[in-house]
Structure 1
Amino acid sequence: MKIMYFFIATFLLAGCSSNKKPIENESAKPDFTLAFGSCNRIDLPNLLWDDILNTKPDVWVWGGDNIYADTDDMEALRAMYNKQKEQTEYKKLVETTDILGTWDDHDYGLNDGGVEFEAKDASQQEFLNFMNVPEDSPLRNRQGVYNSKKFSVGKHSITIIILDTRYFRTQLTPDNETSKRIKPNEYGEGTILGDVQWTWLENELNTSKSDFNIIVSSVQYLSNEHGFEGWGNFPHEVDKLATIIESSNANGVIVLSGDRHISEFSKTNLKRMNYPLIDFTSSGLTHAYNGFSGEPNKYRVGEVIFTESFGILEFNFSAKKVDFKIVGDNGIVLEKLEQVYE
């Protein structure tokens, strides 16, 4: 059965719908707007940057696969990053908006690559150049591209926590028994973040006093049945993140992810949280899984969007509310989810 691009559902604290309205027709101006996306090729039309500009985001977050290089040739990698930086509408965005982000395998340099990629340190420097990180920044001496930034809005604030799911990620387990590409490791085997990054992340959540804490992961956290890359390949680390989030008492934790060439909302309830944990996947910016015919995801809320799109989070501090939107070309809202954080 062909998956449709729209649905209407109502929840106690959250509503999800698709209205296909241009985003500029929304009446109430949010207190803070975060836009994000992933999977962007420089050899394909970059059609969405004008629409992203029109949302007037306070921050743009790259979710990974920001270019498609798959190379250990740093000159070639640099040339591709520079070409993206010269894309007219993206260049305007950089001039007017804070830019944050992480990488994924195709801009990291090795398809499905992890800790074994020998050029990762050189690649990291090229990534930081692309992100316009100053030469004297401490990030230049850090192993991995994880980092965080706090945005203050009056008496309120949002902390964006950027994870690196490549630099430390250990071996995946191929699935030679089914049609899936990868199967989960044995419980306790391997890591996606590595010890140093885990310690850093736990401290970030434990010490944050922000109204909202946005965790950016290049790969999906909740969806785990598709047989591609994701946190589900390290089930013990899925549980570890859930435990850290619960025990930290950090406010308004949200996960953003990419990688899959589809966009969707996933949601789960953690025992010690009075709001659901949402994993908002936005992918891709220049190409999508247009032949998508369905896949299981027990956490999914609504339908899968399999056309080019980007994600928007609109924050209302007084209402403790976030509007999540999947937006396509011409600013059309393809699907949206509303969540109140009590």
Structure 2
Amino acid sequence: MKHFSVLFLLVALILGCKKKEEKPPTIQEEVKPDFVVVFGSCNMPQEPNPFWDDILAEHPDIWIWGGDIVYADTEDMDRLRSIYAMQDTVSGYAKLKAEVPIIGTWDDHDFGINDGGASFAVKKESQQVFLDFMGVPQDSERRTREGVYASHDYETEAGKLKVIILDTRYFRSDLVKDEDPKRRYKPNIDSNATILGDAQWVWLQNELSNSDADFNLIMSSIQFLSGEHGFESWGNFPKEVEKLENMIVASGANGVIILSGDRHISEFSKKDLPGLAYPLIDFTSSGLTHSYFSFSGEPNRYRVGEVVSNKSYGIISLNFKKKEADMKMMGDNGAVLQELKQTY
């Protein structure tokens, strides 16, 4: 009986060990984002864009054009229309357009003139061609309103997102040339100088103040926080910078993130604003088909991480429950070039 007990114990131990060894490894499930925003700027339909298949593979909920959708630089509206049409024939973009809502803004090269603003002679005509390309219905109020600014609201079971599209071209006052040969422009301190114009400012205040969204993305074609480099940026109009910062704080809007393009580089900028419970981030993503590959450095006191001078696009994965935005600069074939996470 004693031998039988010892044998039984040995068999039990062996079976127990075997069972333990065969236990499958624990697999940690990847948390799917509640909403995926993908955006980019500086795109030439004549040049290869390696990203359209990668963007579609991200299963985005929206694609946002950040400006310079095409490079037309023309007052000839037929020519502008034909170049937009060329973009629509790009197979990868056509596939994205068939599956994903497309929204966005223009910048100077699709507006019609390099570094152009309010004085551009055919801006009204250019606006209509842009709205045609974006598929805006002929009976939309955007057809009779000056400027291409707009807002888009998205609601899921998990939470809400508002995307505010700014127009930094149609109303923008003249830039001031800088005497320094290393800089193109210097700040315009005229009290009447503006980027957005009176009507757009009133509209923006209303959009922010009345937003109950968990996140509010503001698409500005030009950089907001990085303004020391001497090229185009909000920094050329310091009173407008102050106005927008104060408006964001006073609005009480949740999770405001600024998106920008224009520069042919990508970078994160972050600034703490008094009275704002979270840091203001400006996520610059530029460009899609060409970039400032010879970039050697420039000042930006608010920069987080390093400048990415490779071609890239931006992706923002939103988690409404955690109030978290996961922002990534993406290269070809799913390469993550840089990442920034922020909880709001």
Aligned-residue offset at 1:271:
0.6
Aligned-residue offset at 1:187:
5.5
Q: Which amino acid aligns with 2:97?
A: V
Q: Which amino acid aligns with 1:286?
A: T
Aligned-residue offset at 1:28:
2.4
Residue of structure 1 equivalent to 2:317:
314
Equivalent positions of 1:26-105 (< 5 A) are 27-105=30-108
User: Within the alignment, does 1:135 sit opposite 2:138 as a pair?
Assistant: yes
Q: Which amino acid aligns with 2:67?
A: G
Residue of structure 1 equivalent to 2:338:
335
* Preserved CA contact (<8 Å) 1:187 1:235: no
Q: Which amino acid aligns with 2:253?
A: A
Using the alignment, how far apart are the partners of 2:252 and 2:338 within structure 1? 30
Equivalent positions of 1:102-113 (< 5 A) are 102-113=105-116
Aligned-residue offset at 1:178:
4.0
Residue of structure 2 equivalent to 1:265:
268
- Between stretches 145-154 and 169-178, larger displacement belongs to 169-178
* Preserved CA contact (<8 Å) 2:158 2:320: no
Q: Select the structure of larger CA radius of gyration.
A: 2
Task: Figure out how many residues of one structure are paired with residues of the other and give that number.
Answer: 316
Residue of structure 2 equivalent to 1:152:
155
User: Within the alignment, does 1:124 sit opposite 2:127 as a pair?
Assistant: yes
- After TM superposition, the score normalised by the length of structure 2 is 0.91
Aligned-residue offset at 1:155:
4.9
- Between stretches 187-196 and 290-299, larger displacement belongs to 187-196
Instruction: Provide the identity percentage.
Output: 58
Using the alignment, how far apart are the partners of 1:93 and 1:256 within structure 2? 21
User: Within the alignment, does 1:186 sit opposite 2:177 as a pair?
Assistant: no
Query: In proportion to residue count, which structure has more helix?
Result: 2
Residue of structure 2 equivalent to 1:23:
none
Aligned-residue offset at 1:330:
1.0
* Preserved CA contact (<8 Å) 1:261 1:283: yes
* Preserved CA contact (<8 Å) 1:265 1:279: yes
Using the alignment, how far apart are the partners of 2:190 and 2:281 within structure 1? 24
* Preserved CA contact (<8 Å) 1:258 1:283: yes
Residue of structure 2 equivalent to 1:199:
202
- Between stretches 179-188 and 230-239, larger displacement belongs to 179-188
Residue of structure 1 equivalent to 2:301:
298
Aligned-residue offset at 1:138:
1.0
Residue of structure 2 equivalent to 1:174:
177
Q: Which amino acid aligns with 1:203?
A: N
Using the alignment, how far apart are the partners of 1:128 and 1:76 within structure 2? 16
Using the alignment, how far apart are the partners of 1:205 and 1:34 within structure 2? 19
Aligned-residue offset at 1:304:
0.3
Using the alignment, how far apart are the partners of 1:117 and 1:187 within structure 2? 20
* Preserved CA contact (<8 Å) 1:42 1:84: yes
Higher relative contact order (CA 8 A, sep 6+): 1
Using the alignment, how far apart are the partners of 2:73 and 2:190 within structure 1? 30
- Between stretches 132-141 and 64-73, larger displacement belongs to 132-141
- Between stretches 171-180 and 262-271, larger displacement belongs to 171-180
- After TM superposition, the score normalised by the length of structure 1 is 0.91
Residue of structure 1 equivalent to 2:14:
none
SS at match of 1:196: helix
* Preserved CA contact (<8 Å) 2:158 2:321: no
* Unpaired runs of at least 5, structure 2: 1-28
Residue of structure 2 equivalent to 1:3:
none
Q: Which amino acid aligns with 1:43?
A: Q
User: Within the alignment, does 1:323 sit opposite 2:307 as a pair?
Assistant: no
* Preserved CA contact (<8 Å) 2:291 2:310: yes
Q: Which amino acid aligns with 2:144?
A: N
Residue-by-residue CA offset, 1:39-58 (whole Å, 9 max, x unaligned):
00112112111111111110
Using the alignment, how far apart are the partners of 1:54 and 1:119 within structure 2? 38
Q: Which amino acid aligns with 1:93?
A: L
Structure 1 consecutive aligned stretches of length 4 or more whose deviation exceeds 4 Å: none
SS at match of 1:201: helix
Q: Which amino acid aligns with 2:117?
A: G
Aligned-residue offset at 1:210:
0.4
Aligned-residue offset at 1:200:
0.3
Residue of structure 1 equivalent to 2:229:
226
Residue-by-residue CA offset, 1:143-176 (whole Å, 9 max, x unaligned):
0000001000115100000000000001000001
Using the alignment, how far apart are the partners of 1:51 and 1:28 within structure 2? 20
SS at match of 1:326: strand
- Between stretches 48-57 and 284-293, larger displacement belongs to 48-57
* Preserved CA contact (<8 Å) 1:285 1:308: yes
Using the alignment, how far apart are the partners of 1:188 and 1:290 within structure 2? 37
Q: Which amino acid aligns with 1:321?
A: E
* Preserved CA contact (<8 Å) 2:34 2:158: no
